[in-house]
Chains A and B, each alone.
Chain A
Amino acid sequence: MDNQNTLLNEVAGRDYRFGFVTEIETDFIPKGLNEEVVRIISAKKEEPDFMLEFRLKAYRKWLTMKMPDWAQLKIPEIDYQEIIYYAAPRQQPKYESLDEVDPELLSTFAKLGIPLEEQKMLAGVAVDAVMDSVSVKTTFKENLAELGIIFCSFSEAVKHHPDLVQKYLGMVVPPNDNFFAALNCAVFSDGSFVYIPKGVRCPMELSTYFRINAKNTGQFERTLIIADNDSYVSYLEGCTAPMRDENQLHAAVVEIIALDRAEVKYSTVQNWYPGNKEGIGGIYNFVTKRGLCKGASSKICWNQVETGSAITWKYPSCILAGDNSVAEFNSVALTNNYQQADTGTKMIHLGKNTKSTIVSKGISAGHSSNSYRGLVRVAAKAENARNYSQCDSLLLGDHCGAHTFPYIEVGNQNSVVEHEATTSKIGEDQIFYCNQRGISTQDAIGMIVNGYAREVINKLPMEFAVEAQKLLQISLEGSVG
């Protein structure tokens, strides 16, 4: 036991690798939130009227809403007037080639392990990097444009493709959906926009990197992905932030729309600053992610590895509206020290013969609290719907908590829904077996945790799988070899 405690203490002692601050001139607006701020943001983005309308409607709705308190989270009171709602690197936005990008910025991304140039050449991943709410540079845009794929920052999309934005914005996450979504709708500054035209299979992984850099700012980005009939896209998202003593707010919205026979795969490696080992500082990650399988036989797949953030409140969901549509949710959530996570998914079956699968793996260590909260709803008309859910929790240390709150609602007779959940600590016999074969306890825990999460990590695209594995290792450093 002592041995394990030392190991766990080492875990607690690890540092956050991405905690640097980049000195870049930033364009702020005064802190606080009121209708004027919403108008300023809209004006700064040179947005058309419908966007301003959308924002103001959301803002007015937000004023009437209360912060949700049903999650198994202890959220300190947030003063929404103390947050800066818009912060952008000053020289934005007119880069044509990488040479024009601020070298400081480039080195930031290099430190993060997203070498824009390198990836352009080698990895073949098109990256849209979003720093403090503003999209800095989208690589590979021209190559993608040849196929008719639109991959650009949200503000560009609003300028160049207002019809698409107007048609789909708010379709899956309407402004009145929930408190954080309404806030995001009112003040979101940028994000990514993807449109895959009919019959196109996107030849490379599209990727966004989010970073909160400036102090006291919140990040409110918005991602909108539209996959037209018979198209396919795989999308990656990564996040980091500097180390600061005060908490910063991140309230993003991701909307995915899959039309007939389209397939969208959305993978996240979330590594916002989790706070120090006493639980001071860190990002509040309150995110609304939802996909709509609008067309028949469409497919949406959410993969996530959650290791960061002081508090995570996130439920990537799917609405299976099209007949024969398929949805998947694969998640690994790791919490350590004083981190709290309340995460899961909603699968709403509306169409006939729809299928969904949920695999959720929670790992809690230190004094953290890790909850799975999920809903599977089969509407009366969703005949032959099928769901399988599996939620496992692994506990490391006796001060942490692992909770499971599934909701299952079935409204017809020919659907089959199964749910399974287990909670246990790492098996002593498994560790003993490894020890017996000459593997140290440290390595054994590493192997077991990795094996435990493998099912989900295997679903991630190659580049991310490597990163995810590394992240799990760093997050449990000391106990994982």
Chain B
Amino acid sequence: MVSRFFEEAMESIYMEGKTPVFNMAEGPIPGEMHLSNGQEPCAVGVIAHLTAGDIVTATHRPHHQAIAKGVDLDKMAAEIFGKKTGLSGGRGGHMHIFDADVNFACSGIIGQGMGPAVGAALSRKMRGEDGVAVAFLGEGAVNQGAFHESLNLASVWKLPVIFVVEDNAWGISVSKKQSTAVEHNAVRAQAYNMPGRFIADNDPIALFDVAGVAIEAARAGHGPTLIEVETYRLAGHFMGDAEDYRPEGEIDGLKAKDPILVMKKRLINDGLLTEDQHTALSDKAKARVDAAITFARESDFPAPEEALEKVFV
């Protein structure tokens, strides 16, 4: 819920200064903005098994993964606003969320978080230290060389790494059907001699169970797993995306399957949550996000010449 409130805040703040004329360069949050509304289960179902010491590499759409991993929310919001108090003092922005304290790194380039995840897993294996690396990617990334090279390398070296494909069915405007030769990317795991698992219908509980087995196997030295999650991108690829490529009615259909609402209903039906408890949790999450946004808004911009620092260490 923190993630969803965060994205809703991003959605509204992003449009500040961008109406009536949309100009990506304007407003308190300029640049591209890729929201993860609807894809929260992919992050939560996997990262719930991880500790701060485990490694996550994320994508150009990283907010839900970062929040699940425990990236400092204040500093992350400030980074997205380009403020001095941001994770990297404003040098990275929304597609480059890095938090060394919780071993979280990003790449805005499709598929390019995978190599570093393999390397971090190699590092832990070589040092004999506990640690699993999880590389998140979209279904569009599976047609990149990096995907195939990384799966092969992780398997050959039996590394503790999990590859999680968030299949939202769309690579910007090109559908998976148009771009991908197999119906389920999980089958590609066979080519690299590792388990491949498919999670239908954005189900966080099913994912949690499968990820638990995969992560336990990785920690025990049994090597990598590929997990494919059927998920739903409730927003455009980026803010300002007119989404003309979607078939009519698709978004309404997806909104009916909004995983936050589905999960709430499921927990209440199962007697695990009451309306009051839900309201309390929701209020708490909202307050956390509000505090982060306030922190970001009130923080100062970096001195422009700080841009020249931190190229090398």
Do A and B bind? no
Residues of A bordering B, CB below 8 Å = none
